[in-house]
Structure 1
Amino acid sequence: MIDNNKAGQNILNLRKGLSLTQTELSSLVGVSHQAVSKWEQGDCLPDIGVLLKLGQVFGKSVEELLLGDSVSGGSASDKIVSPPIELPDEVWTEALDHIQTRISPPSFNTWFKGTKGRQLGETYCVYSPSRFAAEWLYHRYSDLIVPVLEDITGTSGLKVEFCSTGVWDINRKD
């Protein structure tokens, strides 16, 4: 039988490990912040569709979320493998400053908080804390990110890849 309190504690640890608020996590998976609070308190469990989304956000299986097989003993940030480069760089810091003025604060905090970037040769890599967030940035914000990076770097036709920390080449925007 699944222990609601243990599952809730796992979700709490993973959320805090990614430095997300309950509101930010709720936005990522399409539920209310109250629902996240109820999970974390052990009052109930997420629906299966939401569990799948949580798994994408945290890079965990449903089993790991519910049973804590590889969650116990640390936070999510302890489990994420960093890319083999030093992040962030000045270009990404400047890009974030520009992007922050063009979107709402809740959207910026949800999707851009915790991101990093680095130019590697002719490609600029945007790193997100999870695969789900990287895919969201690619699908929803690449039309904003790419021109900002091109303007800052002075590079026309810059190749941009959206990656989750430790996972290479999720999506490419040429």
Structure 2
Amino acid sequence: MTAIELWDLTLKEIKDKISAPAYNQWFKPTMVGHIDGSTLVVLCEDEMQRNWLEARYTSLVSEIAYEIDNNFENVLFILHEKSGFLN
């Protein structure tokens, strides 16, 4: 499974589990980065988004990704190097 496929499936599950406003604000503007071993790396627009996702949703995202493909146990939210990457 590719990183994009895993993230798309994970997002679909997340969308069913959290409110639409929370999903639209915190998850919709993310992009999948890559897979690093058993870790799914997710790109965030800014530090606030990264911190929020990391503090409040790491467990949920990790659990969902693991349910989809048990090769993935962790998620890592990082900042995308370029500002405004989702214009």
- Give TM-score scaled by structure 2 length: 0.80
Matched, 1:139 2:87: no
Q: Which residue of 1 aligns with 2:77?
A: 162
Mapped contact 2:38–2:71 kept (Cα < 8 A): no
Matched, 1:113 2:28: yes
Task: Note the aligned Cα RMSD (angstroms).
Answer: 1.8
- Quick one: percent identity of the two aligned structures? 29
| 2:29 counterpart letter in structure 1 | G
| Unmatched 5+ stretches in structure 1 | 1-87, 168-174
Instruction: Give 1:155 deviation, angstroms.
Output: 2.6
What is the CA–CA distance in structure 2 between the aligned matches of 1:166 and 1:150, rounded to whole Å?
27
Per the alignment, in what secondary structure is the counterpart of residue 89 of structure 1? helix
Matched, 1:153 2:69: yes
What is the CA–CA distance in structure 2 between the aligned matches of 1:135 and 1:100, rounded to whole Å?
19
| 2:74 counterpart letter in structure 1 | K
Give every structure 1 segment of 4 or more consecutive aligned residues whose post-TM-superposition deviation is greater than 4 Å. Answer: none
Instruction: Give 1:121 deviation, angstroms.
Output: 2.4
| Unmatched 5+ stretches in structure 2 | 83-87
- Give TM-score scaled by structure 1 length: 0.42
Q: Which residue of 2 aligns with 1:99?
A: 14
Q: Which residue of 2 aligns with 1:126?
A: 42
What is the CA–CA distance in structure 1 between the aligned matches of 2:39 and 2:60, rounded to whole Å?
17
Between structures 1 and 2, the one with greater strand share:
2
Structure having the higher Rg: 1
Q: How big is each residue's C-alpha offset from its partner over 1:102-145, in whole Å with a ceiling of 9 and x where there is no partner?
A: 00000000000111223122321111111110110010111211
Q: Structure with the greater relative contact order (CA < 8 A, sep ≥ 6): 1 or 2?
A: 2
